[in-house]
Structure 1
Amino acid sequence: MKSLGNIRRSFAPWADPSAKPFISVRGVTKKFGNFTAVDDLSLNIYHREFFALLGASGCGKSTLLRMLAGFEQPTSGEIVLDGQDLAGTPPYRRPVNMMFQSYALFPHMTVEKNIAFGLRQEGMAKDQIADRVAQMLKMVKLEQFASRKPTQLSGGQRQRVALARSLAKQPKVLLLDEPLGALDKKLREETQFELMDLQQSLGLTFVVVTHDQEEAMTMADRIAVMSHGKVVQVATPAEIYEAPNCRFVAGFIGDVNILDGNVVAVQPGIVEVAVDSGFRLRTATNETPSQGSRVGFAVRPEKLRVSPIAPENASVNAVAGEIWDIAYLGDMTVFHVKLKSGQVVKASSLNAVRTVEEPFAYDQEVWVSFDDNAGVLLKD
């Protein structure tokens, strides 16, 4: 069985034609005056899915999340959750809860009272509130901090309090708006895995908004890449990375080299392109572009090989250049190679050993090469 990347879990209801979406966004548009924040957007999210809305600032992802929460109403279209059309349903009547980037904790209340706040507002019995709060504190491992105020906690601890408060009312869907943005890099990475484990153990549907590509790739079962109020591609992290459907997605997710050229040969499963940079590439593909048409070829830096000598077959998928820049990052080294055409391509190499007998140097002449299945054709 071949797969585009490793699979985190064998959970893929979107691949089952008989599976019913838990959340359906159908032709939703949201306008603020003359500005269209969300533009005729449709997507399906499934029960127990960890779903990410990913895009740059202003792409409409937070507006869509606020419409799911009920803080904004669609200008047109509908949002259906578990068979219920949410039109006109106020936020406090929706089976969802939202965790904000700022955490929005009450500074004058203890951790315990912050978590209990929503339960008290609903009129839950005191003994039930006490049991639920104890359960939430244990879940986020903050039992010993129950009597502290938010100002007495670290950023990571405040994030856990906000998460516990959001889950205390046992919503069907948890909405997370840039939930890890205030944490430092190391703590953010640790918390990503904690959120994943928590989501799977609770069996809830999580929808997270983020502009951090690595965060979305780490946590989500699927990612919706958004731009200018529209969904550009919805797919698993591996599919988004290895098989982007357009230039925007290829360039937005991770590092990429895009080589433009003209199609010179088309065979079943194979296309050859005369690259503008002065060499010929051959790629395995299911696409069948017409001969002579303009295409782009997206190839990730780690798929390129840099060597001091020409490969055995340098007539295809190989090009000469010189080392323009070198960045040693510890786990890998990144090379910027300037081709004779002037285009600079980026290649990366894993530092699997501690020492290098013949390290590359600036201005050194090298060859860059790649396999037939290293990249993907882009038609736009």
Structure 2
Amino acid sequence: MKSLGSIRRSFAPWNDPDAKPYIVFENVTKRFGDFTAVNNLSLKIYEREFFALLGASGCGKSTLLRMLAGFDEPTAGRILLDGQDLRGIPPYRRPVNMMFQSYALFPHMTVEANIAFGLKQEGMAKADIEKRVAEMLKLVKLERFAKRKPHQLSGGQRQRVALARSVAKRPKVLLLDEPLGALDKKLREETQFELMDQQQELGLTFVVVTHDQEEAMTMADRIAIMDKGEVMQVATPAEVYEAPSSRFVAGFVGNVNMIEGTVSGRENGVARISDGNGLTIKAENIGDAAAGSAVAFAIRPEKIKVSSRKPDDPGVNVVEGEIYDIAYLGDMTVYHVKLADGQVVKASALNASRITDDPLTWNDRAFISFRPDAGVVLTR
């Protein structure tokens, strides 16, 4: 079986035409005065999904989360949760809970008191609170720290306390607004996997807002790429990366080379794309690109090979150029190759061994090569 990228788990209700979405944004618009933060947006999220809203600052992702939480109301459209219209329902009556980047822990309370706070507010019996708090401490592996105050914990431990407090009330949906932004890089990477594991163990629906592409790609089952209050693409991490729907998505997620040109012909699912400056390549994955249409061939750097010798394979695209820049990053080497038409193509090579048989350096003549199916043709 072939798949577009690795599959983390078989969970994929969005591919089932009979599956009922759990959260529905239906033609939602949100305006603040003359500014439109969310523009006629429709989106479906499924139960037990780990869903990420990804985009630059000001794209509307946090506004979307706040409307789901009940802190803001849509100007137009509606939001449904498990079939119920949420309009007019205050935040404290919605079966959702929100975990903020700051964690908002009470500094004067112990870990267990922080976790118990919301349960006490709801009037839960003392014995039930103690049992639930013990369950939450075990879930986040903080039993030994129950009597400590937040200032006595590391950033990652505080994050886990905030998570335990957020899920202690057993909401149907947990909303996470930049939940790992306060952590350092190494701890953030470790905590991403912890959150994934805990989400699956809890069986809750997680909706996370982030501007960190790697974070969204690591944790989410699906990602909604947002720009200027609109959703540009909703897909799995592998689909967003390997099959972006537009130039914007291709450029926003990861590194990419865009070879702009015109379809000079197509035959048997293969197009010839010419840039008008002497460069012509063969490309598959051409969609509905018609002959004569302006397109971009988007290809990731790791799909391009660089060598000092011209490849013999007649089935690949081969272009000669000059090494313009090199970056050695330890696990990989990144080459910038300037082509005859002045375009600079980025290629990356995995450093699988300590010694290279084909060393290249600045100003060397080199050949880049890539398969016709290594990229995707974009029409918008």
Query: Normalising TM by the smaller chain, what interval?
Result: over 0.9
Cα deviation, residue 357, structure 1:
3.4
Q: Deviations over 1:43-99 (max 9, x none)?
A: 000011000000000000000000110011111111000111101011110000000
Q: CA RMSD in A?
A: 1.2
Residue 132 of structure 2 aligns with an amino acid whose one-letter code is R
> 2:302 matched to 1:310?
no
Structure 2: where are the runs of 5+ without partners? none
- Identify the range of structure 1 (197-206 vs 241-250) with the bigger mean alpha-carbon deviation: 197-206
Cα deviation, residue 290, structure 1:
2.3
- 1:299 corresponds to which residue? 299
CA distance in 1, matches of 2:276, 2:108: 64
- 1:179 corresponds to which residue? 179
Residue 189 of structure 1 aligns with an amino acid whose one-letter code is E
- 2:24 corresponds to which residue? 24
Q: Equivalent residues in 2 for 1:361-372 (5 A)?
A: 361-372=361-372
CA distance in 2, matches of 1:315, 1:243: 22
Contact kept, 8 Å, 1:224 with 1:234, in 2: the verdict is yes
In structure 2, the CA distance between the partners of 1:264 and 1:229, relative to structure 1 (3 Å rule), is same
Contact kept, 8 Å, 1:260 with 1:276, in 2: the verdict is no
Cα deviation, residue 358, structure 1:
3.5
Q: Deviations over 1:86-144 (max 9, x none)?
A: 01011110000000011011111111111111001100111111111111111111111
Cα deviation, residue 322, structure 1:
0.8
Q: Equivalent residues in 2 for 1:234-313 (5 A)?
A: 234-276=234-276, 278-312=278-312
Percent of residue pairs bearing the same amino acid type = 70
Q: Deviations over 1:286-343 (max 9, x none)?
A: 5232222211110000000101022225796221111111111111111111111111
CA distance in 1, matches of 2:87, 2:262: 50
Residue 332 of structure 1 aligns with an amino acid whose one-letter code is M
Contact kept, 8 Å, 2:286 with 2:376, in 1: the verdict is no
Contact kept, 8 Å, 1:259 with 1:276, in 2: the verdict is no
Structure 2 counterpart SS, 1:320: strand
Q: Equivalent residues in 2 for 1:38-49 (5 A)?
A: 38-49=38-49
Structure 1: where are the runs of 5+ without partners? none
Cα deviation, residue 267, structure 1:
1.5
Q: Normalising by the residue count of structure 2, what TM-score does the alignment of the two structures yield?
A: 0.98
- Identify the range of structure 1 (65-74 vs 283-292) with the bigger mean alpha-carbon deviation: 283-292
- 1:208 corresponds to which residue? 208
CA distance in 2, matches of 1:60, 1:73: 14
CA distance in 2, matches of 1:164, 1:313: 56
Cα deviation, residue 146, structure 1:
1.0
- 2:226 corresponds to which residue? 226
Contact kept, 8 Å, 1:304 with 1:368, in 2: the verdict is yes
Contact kept, 8 Å, 1:280 with 1:316, in 2: the verdict is no
> 2:147 matched to 1:143?
no
CA distance in 1, matches of 2:198, 2:290: 49
Q: Which runs of 4+ in 1 moved over 3 A?
A: 313-316
Residue 365 of structure 1 aligns with an amino acid whose one-letter code is R
Structure 2 counterpart SS, 1:7: coil
Residue 84 of structure 1 aligns with an amino acid whose one-letter code is Q
Structure 1 counterpart SS, 2:66: helix
Contact kept, 8 Å, 2:271 with 2:286, in 1: the verdict is no
Contact kept, 8 Å, 1:261 with 1:295, in 2: the verdict is yes
Structure 2 counterpart SS, 1:161: helix
- 1:120 corresponds to which residue? 120
CA distance in 1, matches of 2:277, 2:180: 41
> 2:73 matched to 1:73?
yes
In structure 2, the CA distance between the partners of 1:277 and 1:166, relative to structure 1 (3 Å rule), is farther
Structure 2 counterpart SS, 1:163: helix
Cα deviation, residue 242, structure 1:
0.3
CA distance in 2, matches of 1:295, 1:205: 38
Contact kept, 8 Å, 2:263 with 2:295, in 1: the verdict is yes
CA distance in 2, matches of 1:104, 1:197: 23
